[in-house]
Amino acid sequence: MRLHIDRTTCDGRGLCAELLPEVLGEDDWGYPLARDGGGNDPRVPAALRGHAERAVAQCPRLALRLLADPAGH
Ligand code: SF4
């Protein structure tokens, strides 16, 4: 799975990085940064899927969604 970040909607409060620190860090303004260098679509390991679903559900701007990884992961 990949976690898509809609940067036009995100307002950078950093909640997602708190809920999913293994996948997301924060820049100096609180906007999420993919730790794997995956830009707007960092990969989510299967073991963290539940945490990613929680981050999607709790994003106050509905700026996150889970996508199937084209590579099938
Ligand atoms: S929780 Fe949503 S609005 Fe907040 S930083 Fe993450 S993507 Fe942006």
Write down the pLDDT at residue 71. Answer: 67
The 3-state DSSP class for residue 52 equals: helix
Residue nearest atom 8 in ligand 1 by C-alpha distance: 10
Go through 42-64 and write b for each residue having 16 or more CB atoms within 10 A of its CB, e for each that does not: bbbeeebeebbbebbeebeeebb
**From the CB of 42, is ligand 1 less than 6 Å away?**
no
**From the CB of 63, is ligand 1 less than 6 Å away?**
yes
> Bridge-partner residues for 34, per DSSP?
24
Q: Work out the percent of the chain whose per-residue pLDDT is above 70.
A: 96
Residue whose tokens read 């969604």: 65
Q: Work out the average pLDDT over 49-66.
A: 98
Write down the pLDDT at residue 69. Answer: 81
| Distance from residue 70's CA to the centre of ligand 1 (Å) | 24
**From the CB of 21, is ligand 1 less than 6 Å away?**
no
